[in-house]
Structure formats: C-alpha cells, structure tokens
Copies of this chain bind each other. A is one copy, B any other.
Amino acid sequence: MTDETFTASARPPASVDEFRDRLAAVTTDLPRRLRQCADYIAAHSDRIAVSTVAELAAGADVPPSALMRFCQIMGFSGFSEMQKLFREAYAPGWPDYSTRLKNLKQGGAGSPTALLAEFVEAGRLSLESLAKTVDEVALAEAVRLLSAAGTVHVVGFRRAFPVASYLAYVFEKMSVPAMLHDGVGKLDHRFALRPGDAVLAITFAPYSEETLTLAQDARDRGLAVVGLTDRVTSPLARSAAATITVPEVDFGAFRSLSATIALALSLAVAVGSARE
C-alpha cells in the first residue's frame, strides 16, 4: 500500500519542458487507458490550458477518472495543478503582439501598416512551418556535400537572387571559397565549375531556366548539386544530390523569404564551421 504503482515522483514538473521530459520518460510501459491519455496529451498539450477534464477525456476517449490518474502519474496532485502550469506558461510570444497586429491592419487594406502586418504574419507562419517540416536528413546531407567541396557556386535569379547574394556574403565572411553566379553581362560562368566543386542552386516556381540549366550541367559533369526550392516535385530535384524544400507562405504576389533566409543561413554557417 505504501509503494505507488508507477513512479509518481514527489515533485511535479515545474515547466513545460520538464513536463515533456517526464511524459516521454513515463509513456512507455503504461496500461492501455493511461497510454491513450499520454498519447492524446502529447499531441494536444496546447489545449490543456483551455479545456476541462471532461473535454480532454472525451478527446482521448477515456473516462475522466483515467485522466485524473494520468495527472497524478505525471507528478501533479490533480488536473488543476497541471492546468495551472500550462496557463501560467502561456505568456511568452505575444503579450500584446496580436492586438498590435489587429491595430496595424486597421489602417485599411492597402495601407502600409496593414501590408506590414500581413507580411509579418506571413513570415512568422513560414518560419514556424519551416521548423516543423524541415528534412533534417537532407539538410545534413547538404552540409556534408558543401563542406567537402572545393568552391561553392551559388546560383539564384529573380526572387531567389537576394537569398543567393546573402549566401555569397556569408560564405565570404566565413572564408568559404564561394562564387555568386549573377548573370551580369550575360556571361554564364559555367566554365568556372571545376571538378570537386559544388553548386548550391535556389529557385522557386516558376523555376528560372538558367538555374535549372546550370544545375543540370553541373550534375552531368559529376559535381555535387544542392537544391533549395519550394516543392519536392520541383524540376530542380532532378539535378540535385540533396534537395531541401522551404514552405514559404506568400502574401499577395510576394513572398517574405524569411524561412528561406533562415534555412540558407543555417546551411552556410554549418558549412563554414565544418570546414574550419
């Protein structure tokens, strides 16, 4: 009678991070109903703050009492204590950010501030989406290929050009031999591609012909090609040894590039570190 069935640790989690750790630690070897609770909670932890026991239990398809037991196994005295943690943890991010956005939009459609609000929002969504969907394996592979290369050739035109130029800048700062193919003077510097070099190609729909051609050309010559594009079905994927897709949210005809730049920066800095 004195020992608890499951290690209901003495102290409850003090933060959402601790909560997640304990959830992960405890979630194996748990009876069926309790495991249902754990799974549902893991997938919907954001709703703890705004739901009742009954609602969550219904969602997890268990009786309320099972959920209560689950709370206790997690180390809380009960559901209320657990909910308190999530209600208080909810403060960061937007103390009044969303209010502010609303205000900005009130300038009226087309006003500079309303546009700004839209682009800020698009950027934020893109970044969140990137964090959720990025292909870690492809990213690691891209870093590997570029780190092993002689010179990195960066190519991107039109809306991809700002990204390409920033990459070139960062590579230079990190002393990585890099060359920006910018099409100035209608020269393609195709013959600058030498064995052992790598190409980092960036293009979004509608894909620019020059970029695709250069990527294919490099591949035919046996160079490593890394593609940065918007869809896995992009024609760039055919030429690339590693393809990374960036889910960028557009507003109107233009994209914020936030996610693309974040990804490009990570890539460049990782390559720069790896080459030292």
A residues sitting closer than 8 Å to B (CB atoms) are: 16-17, 20, 42-43, 45-47, 49-51, 87, 90-102, 104, 107, 110-113, 115-120, 122-124, 127-128, 130-132, 134, 136, 139-140, 142-143, 158-159, 161-163, 165-166, 169-170, 173, 184, 252-254, 256-259, 261-263, 265-267, 269-270, 273
> Is the beta-carbon distance between A116 and B128 smaller than 8 angstroms?
no
CB-nearest residue of chain B relative to A273? B110
Give, as a whole number of angstroms, the nearest-CB distance from A71 to chain B. 17
On whether A132 and B45 interact (CB within 8 A), knowing A112-B143, A269-B252, the answer reads no
> Is the beta-carbon distance between B98 and A46 smaller than 8 angstroms?
yes
On whether A169 and B163 interact (CB within 8 A), knowing A98-B16, A134-B116, the answer reads no
Residues of B within 8 A of A162 (CB): 162-163, 165-166, 169, 261
On whether A45 and B143 interact (CB within 8 A), knowing A162-B169, A256-B265, A273-B110, the answer reads no
CB-nearest residue of chain B relative to A184? B184
> Is the beta-carbon distance between B128 and A97 smaller than 8 angstroms?
yes
Give, as a whole number of angstroms, the nearest-CB distance from A224 to chain B. 16
Cα distance A136–B43 in the bound complex, in angstroms = 40
Residues of B within 8 A of A16 (CB): 98
Cα distance A270–B112 in the bound complex, in angstroms = 5
Give, as a whole number of angstroms, the nearest-CB distance from A253 to chain B. 7
> Is the beta-carbon distance between A100 and B131 smaller than 8 angstroms?
yes
A interface SS class: helix
The 5 closest A-B pairs by CB, nearest first: A162-B162, A116-B266, A258-B258, A162-B166, A112-B270
> Is the beta-carbon distance between A269 and B254 smaller than 8 angstroms?
yes
Residues of B within 8 A of A128 (CB): 93-94, 97, 120, 124
Contact of A136 among B101, B113, B122, B169 (CB under 8 A): B113
Contact of A46 among B94, B123, B139 (CB under 8 A): B94
> Is the beta-carbon distance between B97 and A113 smaller than 8 angstroms?
no
Residues of B within 8 A of A50 (CB): 49-50, 87, 90
Q: A100-B132, A123-B262 are in contact. List 8 more A-B contacts (CB 8 A).
A: A46-B96, A50-B87, A110-B270, A112-B142, A116-B263, A116-B266, A120-B262, A123-B258
> Is the beta-carbon distance between B116 and A262 smaller than 8 angstroms?
yes
Residues of B within 8 A of A95 (CB): 46
Residues of B within 8 A of A99 (CB): 20, 42-43, 45-46
Cα distance A266–B131 in the bound complex, in angstroms = 25
> Is the beta-carbon distance between B102 and A131 smaller than 8 angstroms?
no
Cα distance A271–B93 in the bound complex, in angstroms = 30
On whether A270 and B94 interact (CB within 8 A), knowing A102-B20, A163-B162, A256-B258, the answer reads no
